[in-house]
Structure 1
Amino acid sequence: MFKAIQRLCAIATTALLAFPVQAAEVSVAVAANFTAPMKQIAEQFEKDTGHKAILSFGATGNFYAQIKNGAPFHVLLAADDTTPNKLEKEGAVVPGSRYTYATGKLVLWSRNPTLVDPQGKVLSQGEFSRIAIANPKLAPYGAAAMETLNKLGLASSLAPKFVQGENIAKTFHFVSTDNAQLGFVALSQVWADGTLKEGSAWVVPGNLHDPIRQDAALLNAGKDNPAAQALLIYLQGDKARSIIRSFGYDL
């Protein structure tokens, strides 16, 4: 990460020499699981720097396709580290700008305060007709959920009960509106300031799926945008990191 910070600082210094120091806008593609913390960070970022972050939320897989097709995003905040790495290898990311801004946690959640037990036994022993899961081909949290179910030996038996969302936001919507009794969502969607907001949950142990390392990257369209470089540096500062931690992410 230190090398990434050095690289970003060098890019930012070059941009400041080339452009007047003034407020600018940065277009940010944000993984759906990071919606709530990023809204708070963007608000604080604008207060502290004068720059404005224009946020778009969605599935990392969809953002990959959009970026490859020329979408003018300046910064990508992905839900994995694979997609930014792939984009960098394909020449769409400024070399050396990529770093992990958070490590996410997967949680099995229900609005019903008694349905999900702390050990997740409800998956094999509970009675429910629908379980929500994000599309594993597009959403890293969906891939982590499928990996978890495969390790538990439950993927095949639960498959008929799947309700699939395009991204983790859609998956959360299915559970929050009772279109599914429970579902795998991001901890950040149901957690705030160290407390479960409502319902019942099982935080999936990290040994049941690969780490959900979420990488940030400066895209080519943002190379000369001072707000883009400022945002990537700001995300590593104390204020942003405090917000990120408050939603249950590891750093």
Structure 2
Amino acid sequence: MKIHPKKYATLLLFLLPLQAFAETALIAVATNFTPTMKAIVTAFEEDTPHRLQVSFASSGKLYAQIKNGAPFDLLLSADQAIPQRLIKEGNAMLNSQSTYAEGKLALWSNDNTLIDNQGAVLYSRHFHRIALANPKLAPYGLAATQVLAKLKLTKSTYPLWVQGENIGQTYQFVRSGNAEIGFVALSQIQIDHEIKEGSFWIVPHHLYDPIKQDLVVLKKGEGNPAISDFLDFLSSPKIQKLIESYGYTASLHSSS
């Protein structure tokens, strides 16, 4: 079928603006936010012409990659200190830092009966290994050490620690049975407000410092329409509800 030249020209005029504003962005994301971010990316790419390429790692590792020249446009960290440092060191845009979520810590086991709703297993000898993320690299690992310190269990549990490089590896230690219990992000075991499997204890907030997770626009991302559109999308009521369904307290609010 032949298309009339005038109709073809009209079609091109219609498509060009869409193509002109379609951009690709590279986003670095803390491991704990992996399932949530994957759901957000799917929704974003369905609703906009942009495409996102996402890398997941511990916040500390992502910081090192950025300092070594990794071409990311945006960082979603698991803490506030790293975005602050990147701004101070000239790698990120001034006034671009904001809290996108507050994380929650959970003690989790793949065994359906091992953990009760008070975390009493920590005082027992019913486990041989306890997994937690490296506290020097991962905020959730630091939070886990704070919990054990406040419960006066650091000394008795320390010989049993199995440290993951990030919270994703920590989850896998427990999931595979290499550790009977472990401190993970609630978001790793919760979807749509329901715990997927196993037994768990949602750790009370007063036992660890708030895990405020901040994002920051990196120098390379300045002026990228995909980044500005993504930030607007992230603060929309629909995505704020999605974030909360994965076990976070959502923190961004739409300006519209």
* Number of the residue aligned with 2:164: 165
* TM alignment of 1:93-112, pairs within 5 A: 93-112=92-111
Counterpart amino acid of residue 175 in structure 2: S
Counterpart amino acid of residue 191 in structure 1: Q
* Number of the residue aligned with 2:180: 181
Q: C-alpha separation between the residues in 1 aligned to 2:20 and 2:156?
A: 59
Secondary structure class of the residue paired with 2:21: coil
Q: C-alpha separation between the residues in 1 aligned to 2:128 and 2:160?
A: 6
Q: Alpha carbon RMSD of aligned pairs, Å?
A: 1.0
* Number of the residue aligned with 2:226: 227
* Number of the residue aligned with 2:140: 141
Equivalenced residues, count: 232
Counterpart amino acid of residue 30 in structure 1: V
Deviation digits for residues 16-37 of structure 1 (CA, Å, limit 9, x no counterpart): xxxx842111101011000001
Counterpart amino acid of residue 183 in structure 1: G
TM-score in terms of structure 1 length: 0.90
TM-score in terms of structure 2 length: 0.89
Counterpart amino acid of residue 88 in structure 1: I
Counterpart amino acid of residue 39 in structure 2: Q
Q: C-alpha separation between the residues in 1 aligned to 2:232 and 2:170?
A: 31
Counterpart amino acid of residue 187 in structure 2: S
The question of whether the paired residues in 2 share the 8 Å contact of 1:216 and 1:232 is answered with: no
* TM alignment of 1:1-12, pairs within 5 A: none
Counterpart amino acid of residue 89 in structure 2: E
Q: C-alpha separation between the residues in 2 aligned to 1:21 and 1:145?
A: 47
Secondary structure class of the residue paired with 2:249: coil
Larger Rg: 2
* Number of the residue aligned with 2:13: none
Runs of 4+, deviation exceeding 6 Å? none
The question of whether the paired residues in 2 share the 8 Å contact of 1:191 and 1:247 is answered with: yes
The question of whether the paired residues in 2 share the 8 Å contact of 1:30 and 1:57 is answered with: yes
* Number of the residue aligned with 2:77: 78
- Structure 1's unaligned 5+ residue stretches are 1-19
* Number of the residue aligned with 1:198: 197
Q: C-alpha separation between the residues in 2 aligned to 1:198 and 1:211?
A: 25
**CA displacement at 1:239 relative to structure 2:** 2.1
* Number of the residue aligned with 1:122: 121
The 10-residue stretch of structure 1 (165-174 or 224-233) with the greater mean CA deviation from structure 2: 224-233
Counterpart amino acid of residue 181 in structure 1: E
